[in-house]
A and B are shown apart, each in its own frame.
Chain A
Amino acid sequence: MLSFYLYLATAALLLGVGSLGLWRGPELLRRILALNVIGAGIFMLMVSLAYRPVLYGEPADSVLHALVLTGLVVAVSATAFALALLGRLLARPQ
């Protein structure tokens, strides 16, 4: 039970850390990383929620795992697109 709340707290703090990075920047690349940290925080929240049944001796929530997997793919795709845009932005002759 304690570790469940520990991971929930970590998730919330990861959201905070990510938001700080997103606000502060200053580089765009760091902002993209920050968005990924926020995403990781949300996924951690979801995976901790999926862990709840385990505390009662049942298997973990597979629907949430599937949702997080979908979310991971979406996050990777978005990151890749953002980095491609960033690469072009930086490579452009000034």
Chain B
Amino acid sequence: MGLLLFDVVLCALLLTLAGAAMLSRQLVHAVTLFIAFGVMMALAWARLQAPDLALAEAAIGAGLTGALCFTALARYAGDAGYPKPKLWLPLVFVAAVSALLLYSVFQIPAQPTTELSERVAEHLAVSGVSHPVTAVLLNFRAWDTLLELLVLLLALLGARQVPSQLPLHAGWSLSVSWSRLLSPMLLLLSAYLLWRGAAAPGGAFQAGALLASGLVILRLNQQLAWLSWQNFAVRTLVLAGLIAFVMAGLASLLLPGQLVWLSWPVALAGGIILLVETFATLAIALTLALLVVGEPEQEPADA
């Protein structure tokens, strides 16, 4: 009963926050409400027994997306006003579509099909890790994860095509020293999350996102002058996750008897996964950090 009450309150809160973010008159309110929405989503994931997602959402939704949105928001400062948008026509249409979707989701059978989960449980022992989500991400469906890293890299490459630097505020001593205090903690926590990912919720992405927030905090306080795409070492690390992944895949093809892409031999699977995850964490952290803070200054070179 108490849990159901919690569910009702949480769902109502989620819908209210999302609705208010969409309908609020000022954009700054919309962004603030959206960030609150992200935090609540993390709570919902935790409630629905998806701790991996709760960790990821907390790091991403509450931290980095917020920073990104506020950067964009700062640009709206001098922008001309918009005409007040229509409400009723979209509302009626969307209400009809939502009613249809509501009807559809109630058609979903409550009885799950468990064949795939059983298959995961069966093969977990030979996957190299003991946490099923990590096993799916880095072994059973590793190709998805490789492509996902590529999507992240592409976001950075795309964003680099359209640089627009906001002037950084001079760092205040208080925030500088707080950032110095905070970032080692974040580093420690992200290393812990990465290590834990093999056996429990956590893993490369959560760790990377956390590390990225540490990097962003330091960079916004005028430290880490080396954090730039022009720096060869940074570039290498940004690409490290993908390079490690591809090399591991190609190496697995060369092993005798195995002629399938991305198949880790059972004995080495744990090691390969940890290796790939470590590089992926670094890559994710640097990519996200570069996405949020951008480049100091640069002009795109010609081919």
Contacts and interface: CB of A to CB of B under 8 A. Distances in A.
A20 B112 contact: no
Interface string A37-65: 10010011101111111111011111101
A20 B74 CA distance: 24
B57 A61 contact: no
**Residue among A36, A66, A78 facing the most chain B CB atoms (10 A cut-off):** A66
Given A8-B108, A70-B148, A73-B152, A17 B120 contact: no
Contact of A33 (B21, B83, B86, B164): B21
B49 A83 contact: no
Given A23-B90, A62-B136, A78-B155, A47 B95 contact: no
Contact of A10 (B11, B57, B108): B11
B75 interface: yes
Contacts of B65: 36, 76, 79
Interface in A16-44: 16-21, 23-27, 29-30, 33-34, 36-37, 40, 43-44
Q: How large is the interface on B (under 10, 10 to 19, 20 to 34, 35 or more residues)?
A: 35 or more
A9 B163 CA distance: 41
Interface string B96-129: 0110011011101011101011001000000000
Contacts of A14: 14-15, 18
A51 B3 CA distance: 15
B39 to A, nearest CB: 12
B94 A3 contact: no
**Residue among A16, A27, A44, A54 facing the most chain B CB atoms (10 A cut-off):** A16
Contacts of B31: 29, 33
The secondary-structure label for the interface of chain B is helix
Contacts of A11: 105
A69 B49 contact: no
Q: How large is the interface on A (under 10, 10 to 19, 20 to 34, 35 or more residues)?
A: 35 or more
B151 interface: yes
Contact of A83 (B8, B71, B136, B141): B71
Contact of B50 (A50, A63, A90): A50
A17 B19 contact: yes
A60 B133 CA distance: 10
A15 B98 contact: yes
A12 B110 CA distance: 16
Interface in B11-50: 11, 14-15, 18-19, 21-23, 27, 30-31, 34, 37, 41, 44-45, 48-50
B53 A68 contact: yes
Contacts of B227: none
B291 interface: yes
A40 B8 contact: no
Contact of B52 (A6, A69, A79): A69
Contacts of A69: 52-53, 56, 133, 137, 205
A77 B112 contact: no
Interface string A61-94: 1110111111011101111110111111011000
Nearest to A29: B72
B106 A8 contact: yes
6 contacts: A33-B30, A55-B110, A65-B133, A65-B136, A68-B53, A74-B148
Given A72-B57, A86-B72, 10 more contacts: A16-B101, A20-B90, A27-B27, A29-B31, A47-B45, A50-B50, A53-B114, A63-B117, A63-B140, A87-B162
